[in-house]
Structure 1
Amino acid sequence: MAAVITSTPIHYAHSVTVNGHALVVDEPDKLGGKNAGPAPFDLYLASLAACTAITLRMYAERKGWELGEFRAVLRLHFGDDGRPNVHRTLHADGPLDDAQWARLLEVVANTPVTKAMRDGATITSSRGDAAKESA
């Protein structure tokens, strides 16, 4: 798994390729960007939202539960200590009872991306040789 990001002529906008999928990232106008694509923390929320929806859909299918249309609203704010705080509100129009909802809330607390964000990751950096390295 690798992501490759390359600058563009548009100030803060960059092209990103991940697993054969391309997208543009940028900062909003108020931060000096041109709003040409989602900002880094937009992608942070999108990653968590995607893992939330996919994990719950997989779990419900294994249990034979009908989620119907699923939607999650994720909101990010930063605490006084500067740490990010995310709150997820889950919606499904399938016929789920209180016990099923309680289980889904337990499952969502332990999705792979939730765990990585909550527990942290080891991140290292090194200088590369642009002429020799690609994804």
Structure 2
Amino acid sequence: MTVTARSLENLQVEIQASNHHILADEPLSAGGDDKGPSPYDLLLSSLAACKVMTVHLYARRKKWPVETVTLTMNHRKVAADECEDCETEGKSPVDIIECEISFAGELDEVQIKRLAEIADRCPVHRTLTSETKIRTAVV
């Protein structure tokens, strides 16, 4: 999997992912032109899409009647000492991603609970919560 990003005018970035083109930008408040989603918008979008797809794949395999999965996500930074369940200590910033998920379909409480667990096992969620190395090379 390869994604290519190229700077355009101001803070706009043209992204090519497989056969798809995306324009990323920063909001006006951050000095951008607000012509596309911000990097954090794209990060949350990737996570949300992965969770929804993973739930649908699991439900299909189980033949559970999931009609729609709806996710709302938000991101914020807090000081580590404001986060009760964080390992980092002190004033260092910690990223908090909060997710609300709902399911439409004839599902019982056991199925709903299981689908929420499955959503947290999507590949992007696992990447974000496991050790990840990012290596940058000048070419």
| TM-score, normalised by the number of residues in structure 2 | 0.87
Could you say what the CA RMSD is over the residues aligned between the two structures, in angstroms? 1.0
- The CA deviation at 1:73 is 0.8
Aligned residue number for residue 123 of structure 2: 112
1:12 and 2:23 matched: no
Aligned residue number for residue 39 of structure 2: 40
Aligned residue number for residue 26 of structure 1: 25
For structure 2, list consecutive stretches of 5 or more residues without a partner in the other structure: 81-92
Aligned residue number for residue 137 of structure 2: 126
1:85 and 2:84 matched: no
| TM-score, normalised by the number of residues in structure 1 | 0.90
For structure 1, list consecutive stretches of 5 or more residues without a partner in the other structure: 129-135
Measure the CA separation in 1 of the matches of 2:117 and 2:70.
17
The residue type paired with residue 102 of structure 1 is K
8 A Cα contact 2:103 2:112, kept in partner: no
SS of 2:79 mapped into structure 1: coil
Matches within 5 A, 1:96-107: 96-107=107-118
- Point out 4+ residue stretches in structure 1 off by more than 3 angstroms: none
The residue type paired with residue 76 of structure 1 is H
Measure the CA separation in 2 of the matches of 1:120 and 1:72.
25
